[in-house]
Amino acid sequence: MLIVAYDNRSDIEIEDTALEEIEDAMMRTLLHQEVEIECEISFSFVSPDEIKELNAEYRKKDTVTDVLSFPMHEDFCKNKKAIICDNPYLPLLLGDIVICTRQAEIQAKEYGNTFTRELSYLSVHSVLHLLGYDHMEEADKLLMRSIEKEIMNDD
């Protein structure tokens, strides 16, 4: 149901068990959102310098960030059925996720998480972006956070 193409360009090795937990978190996100067809996600782990460059180029923010999402379907939430039904090719390419491993390490310590749990959370967050969610408005932020908590089982 989910194909993930990983690319680790960071200086931190990501264990297979962490990749399995990340994939599980992404699968839970897709199931939560009732996306029940085969999907593909391109997933990159990068350095602070690389994510800062990407953030500057695509978001005009010259800072390091934890995760960036590049959805293939900007309006997936509104047109989910059309996007899924009109797709003559499977798997459905959802988009790209880029995570800064160093920033994830910092946040894991800050929030009292393991590195793997932080990567899983960032993956859930990013898949929601690939599915069309955002947190630009307070109501959208509250909705997205609520969904993240449900998926991560953080009641």
Q: From the annotation, which residues make up the binding site for Zn(2+)? A: 125, 129, 135
Residue list for the binding site: 125, 129, 135
* DSSP3 helix / strand / coil % (the chain, rounded to 5): 50, 20, 30
Distance CA 71, CA 41 (A): 9
Q: Which two tokens stand for residue 104?
A: 């994830």
Query: Rounded to an integer, what is the distance from CA 12 to the centroid of its chain?
Result: 18
Which residues does 147 contact at the CB level (< 8 Å), separation at least 6? 32, 128, 133
CA nearest 64: which of 97, 102, 96, 95?
102
Q: Per DSSP, which regions of the chain are E strands?
A: 2-8, 39-46, 67-71, 92-100
